[in-house]
Chains A and B, each alone.
Chain A
Amino acid sequence: MELILSLGIGVLVGSGVWLLLRPRTFQVIIGLGLISYAVNLFIFSMGRLVADKPPVTQAGTRIDPAMLADPVPQALVLTAIVIGFATTALFLVILLATRGLTGTDHVDGREPD
């Protein structure tokens, strides 16, 4: 399982980095999206992969942290997802505004010579 997930993370990062280095703004925004998935998954996986043990305690039972998934990376990732959304939105709008102002969607704000 770990192998598959790390392979997935690797492919996401690779695709994201490739897109990040492309000249068109839309490619960069998609690249950032892919990288943010990868980073979220990576942080999340730092709590190790545990199936069927969500970090929700049961009333009246003794709490054993070893029996639950690690909640800390999850809390980190939860906020990361929301902030990721906000930055994507901001980037999108900057992309649109730049395109309006410069007339091009090249990352440098002008077509290469």
Chain B
Amino acid sequence: MFAAFAIVAILYPFISEGEVLRSDIEWLPAQGLNFTLRMDGFAWMFSMLITGIGFLVVLYARYYMSPRDPVPRFFSFLLAFAGAMQGMVIAGNLILLAIFWELTSIFSFLLIGYWHHNAAAREGARMSLIITGTGGLCLLAGLILTGYIVGSYDLDSVLAAGNAIREHELYVPTLALILLGALTKSAQFPFHFWLPNAMAAPTPVSAYLHSATMVKAGVFLLTRLWPVLSGTDEWFFILGLAGMSTLLLGAYFAIFQRDLKGLLAYSTISHLGLITTLLSLGSPLAAVAAIFHMVNHATFKASLFMAAGIIDHEAGTRDMRKLSGLFSYMPITATLAMVASAAMAGVPLLNGFLSKEMFFAETLGQHSSSMLDEMLPYVATIAGAFAVTYSVRFIHTVFFGPKPQELPGEPHEPPHWMRLPIEFLVLACLIVGIIPGMTIGPYLHTAVTSVLGDRTPQYSLAIWHGISTPLIMSMIAFISGILLYLILKNYLARCEDGPPGLNRLKGQHIFDRMLVTLSWRWARWLEESFGTHRLQPQLFLVILIALIAGCWPFITTDSSFALPSLTGIDPVFALLWGTGMACALGAAYQAKYHRLAALILMGGAGLITCITFVWFSAPDLAVTQLLVEIVTTVLILLGLRWLPKRVEKIDIASTLTAKARRLRDLILAISCGSGMMLIAYHAMTSAPLHDSIARFFVEQAYPEGGGHNVVNVILVDFRGFDTFGEITVLGIVALTVYALLRRFRPAPDSIDIPEQQRRQNAFDDDHPERNIGETVHDYLLVPSVIMQWMFPFIILLAVYLFLRGHDLPGGGFAAGITLAIGLLLQYLASGTRQIEDRLHIMPIRWIGFGLLLAALTGMGSWLSGFPFLTTYSTYLEIPLIGQLPVATALFFDLGVLLLVVGATALMLLAIAHQSTRSYRTRTTESAKTGEET
């Protein structure tokens, strides 16, 4: 944080002359989206605040946070927030700005909800996220409109197009949307209520986010766009009204808070209202005052929050009715807090005084001849008086008066390092307050010039301007503020939380009611009216909509079908598909009660598919389809054992509704089938595409990919990245299968050993010379010997398929599944238990190494300066084997192979392994009974 601060500080000379630092990274240039960062004087000033106060807050939080809290989480959120805020300040592109804006909302949510065991924290976090998030969406819409008007999202172009925006017919909606974003973020009336609720956050968060930075984002944006948007009546009325009501209400509410942080929160709201009011005026001098007050407010409010945190930390409560007379316990902190709150009240010789005087001076000027403008000086003076009242209350109740009673802890001074940030900030308040021209003057000037450009007015930062109206206004505010406190003192000592009269008018209640209506009542109503928990109607609708979508082009456009010609049909092929269709229909018919039959029939349809691939020149597909067919069938066979038995009493649904439903489904199925048939026929008989990308692939497969098998070259080279993604998915699926099965609990009626196995085992039990499981083994004796002998040959076949894959049908996928089938055969031959005792396959490692190898091969091309997965190919002369194509794609394909073996084996073995469960349960049970007897 300090390093960031230093970097920002070093950058000052570059921007002090009104230069703009820019850095462009193209992101989505086609959409006008670039990752543009730009820093001018104003952004620099804000960056100083963000990094400087950020550093102090981090230092403070180091002592504030309890060791029991998850501190790393806190600091990572805080730093992430600082990063987002910094990004927002220096964003040079409107969309980028909106993204950072949303990020600050999200991190603010996480930070407010940091103590998530606390209901108030969760509540406050949610509220702030909903309000600032909604505002953020409005802002995004507003910024997009701005970009549309200007024709560019670049901030510099936008700033240069002020007139165009103000005269555009979309100006009002744009302005309204942007203001919604800014006002929600800066907690302006009527969206102010989230800020006091956000006080459930740890105090460093309040000090940083809710005084110095995040809530300033709104006014930052208003200032940033001030040259573009301001000066119109709409601007003045919306902002002026919001700002003035916030200024007044915030100050009024602040007086009547019980909670120290609540008082500070409402005071923050009020001060933000002040800044908004200043910005609304549209005069350059007011903008100067606004910028100046942003800095001043950040300094004194951050220090006050930290002081409140110290009081809370050391005294154990923030309730102002319990706190009193703390001065004798913590004199230094008390003095610091007094100075800071004097700055908050606007006492001379402190920075708050200067900007407040500028504010008073500005309110007197004539801006537009309206009631609002006439009222402004009075509103300002009253709010000033309220500010004095709450500041005096803060100091007087906490630090003076009788010794505190019933405090949870014995208050004392905090460690020095915890106080240091406050000391530093208070010192800044003092120095700026006494010699403004020599300290903040030039920096402020840089910031102001960068915003206002040619319109920078003459202004002076002197403390003494002579006896002027603003000074008299200040005096009135002081005297009446102190008087008000004296009147209210007794009332405040025992009053309820919240101001009298307005207590019932809580934005929070309205917000809650809206939320309940929107997210509960309406949502429930919607769900009850349109939702269903049942899968079948949902699937029915999905398919129906798909059918309608498929038919749509045929209905809307005039398309004629050529009559099918019955010539040129190969009878063998027709017979083949006759079988295939019979298989499909049979599977559909049998799937309910005869699962095994349905599975075999489905396999039949799969085989016909496979033969079709062979027939129409797709050997790779045929090989893969055949192998996958085997694995899928075995997999489902393994699963069959865990499905429920056939219910003896078959109640064929004979009610009318059930029949109607089946008829409806049948009609849908038939329409989908015939629809697909029509589309497929239409597509297949239309003229072939000659100039598709296929030409490129076929022509370049050998020259660039180094392989003759175009399909394989596409997979491992041209579209290698897709394949990489695909094998990743395969690996993830396998791991998911494995994870799901690790905690697998079979249904109660499937736990028992299957009937056949039980009989075989009973037979073994009856014969003392036999071991359990031998009968099963004997049944499969001949096949198992064959299977065991086949193992090396299957491995050889897999290697062969793999090596020839680049030039001839084969490849990593096929080889991998072959190898997995080899393993599977061993399981079939020897039984799960025996094989698991002898053979240790670690499929997860295969998956890992496969993925690693594929990724490393891809990255290898970076070494020679090519993009990810660029292939290098050559031929290698190997004795005995002959010429072998060696491309780096081969290693990639090897990765594919390893992963496919691992994933397939993992899935199959995980399911196969379940069969040992019942055996285990039984043996443990028999062991128990054995012990008993």
Contact = CB atoms under 8 A, between A and B. Distances in A.
B710 A45 contact: no
B569 A14 contact: no
Contact of A13 (B592, B673, B741, B907): B673
B711 A55 contact: yes
B632 A33 contact: yes
Contact of B615 (A51, A66, A70): A51
B677 A9 contact: yes
B540 A21 contact: yes
Size bin of chain A's contact surface: 35 or more
Contacts of B294: none
A42 B676 contact: yes
A75 B714 contact: yes
Nearest to A79: B726
A46 B685 CA distance: 10
Given A10-B676, A78-B813, A89-B737, A100 B747 contact: yes
B711 A87 contact: no
A48 B639 contact: no
Given A13-B673, A96-B642, A72 B697 contact: yes
B676 A13 contact: yes
A78 B620 contact: yes
Interface string A81-109: 11111111110111111011101110110
Nearest to B613: A44
B666 interface: yes
Contacts, number: 316
Contacts of B613: 44
B715 interface: yes
A33 to B, nearest CB: 5
B617 A51 contact: yes
B694 A8 contact: no
A44 B609 CA distance: 11
A44 B611 CA distance: 13
B391 interface: no
A11 B584 contact: yes
A51 to B, nearest CB: 6
B807 A56 contact: yes
B588 A82 contact: no
B898 interface: no
B674 to A, nearest CB: 6
B911 A93 contact: yes
B527 interface: no
B608 A8 contact: yes
Interface string B646-687: 000000000000000000011011101111111111011100
Contacts of A101: 745
B729 interface: yes
Most buried by A among B587, B694, B722, B730: B694
B616 A6 contact: no
A101 B543 CA distance: 28
Interface stretch (B196-204, B332-340, B420-428, B529-537): B529-537
A14 B910 CA distance: 33
B625 interface: yes
B725 to A, nearest CB: 10
A15 B621 contact: no
Interface in B212-265: none
Interface string A31-48: 101100110111011111
Most buried by B among A40, A42, A54, A107: A54
B733 interface: yes
B15 to A, nearest CB: 53
B1 interface: no
A97 B740 contact: yes
Interface in B580-637: 580-581, 584-585, 587-588, 591-592, 595, 598-599, 602, 605-606, 608-609, 612-613, 615-621, 624-625, 628, 631-632, 635-636
A108 to B, nearest CB: 5
Nearest to B816: A82
A97 B715 CA distance: 34
B705 to A, nearest CB: 10
* Consensus secondary structure, chain B interface: helix
B734 A86 contact: yes
Given A15-B585, A72-B692, A34 B602 contact: yes
B605 A37 contact: yes
A17 B587 CA distance: 12
A21 B538 CA distance: 9
Contacts of B730: 82-83, 86
A48 B688 contact: yes
B636 A92 contact: yes
B365 interface: no
Given A17-B669, A22-B591, A69 B616 contact: yes
A57 B592 contact: no
A16 B808 CA distance: 34
Contacts of A33: 602, 606, 632
B699 interface: yes
B635 A89 contact: yes
A24 B406 CA distance: 68
Given A18-B669, A59-B708, A100-B744, A6 B697 contact: no
Given A10-B677, A15-B669, A4 B569 contact: yes
Contact of B729 (A38, A57, A86, A96): A86
B708 A30 contact: no
B748 interface: yes
A100 B394 CA distance: 63
Given A56-B807, A72-B694, A95-B639, A10 B673 contact: yes
B766 to A, nearest CB: 33
B624 A63 contact: no
A26 to B, nearest CB: 5
Contacts of B535: 107-108
Contacts of B564: 2-3
B343 interface: no
A95 B595 CA distance: 14
B701 interface: yes
Nearest to B635: A89
B269 to A, nearest CB: 50
Contacts of A56: 619, 708-710, 807-809
A71 B168 CA distance: 54
B521 interface: no
Contact of B684 (A2, A54, A58): A2
A88 B588 CA distance: 17
A46 to B, nearest CB: 6
Contacts of B584: 11-12, 15-16, 34
Contacts of A1: 568-570, 573
A14 to B, nearest CB: 3
Nearest to B677: A10
Interface string B793-816: 000000000000001110001000
A50 B608 contact: no
Interface string B551-584: 0000000000000111011100110010011001
Contacts of A13: 672-673, 676-677
B900 interface: yes
A14 B665 CA distance: 10
B673 A17 contact: yes
Contacts of B670: 14
B577 A54 contact: no
29 contacts: A1-B569, A5-B680, A6-B681, A7-B581, A8-B580, A9-B677, A9-B680, A11-B673, A13-B673, A14-B674, A15-B673, A19-B588, A30-B588, A30-B602, A33-B606, A46-B684, A49-B616, A52-B617, A55-B711, A56-B808, A74-B711, A75-B714, A78-B813, A81-B621, A81-B628, A96-B741, A99-B746, A104-B644, A105-B644
Given A51-B615, A75-B714, A99-B750, 4 more contacts: A20-B539, A21-B540, A72-B693, A97-B744
Interface of A: 1-24, 26-27, 29-31, 33-34, 37-38, 40-42, 44-59, 63, 65-66, 68-72, 74-75, 77-79, 81-90, 92-97, 99-101, 103-105, 107-108
User: 4 shortest A-B CB distances, which residue pairs?
Assistant: A14-B673, A10-B677, A15-B588, A6-B681
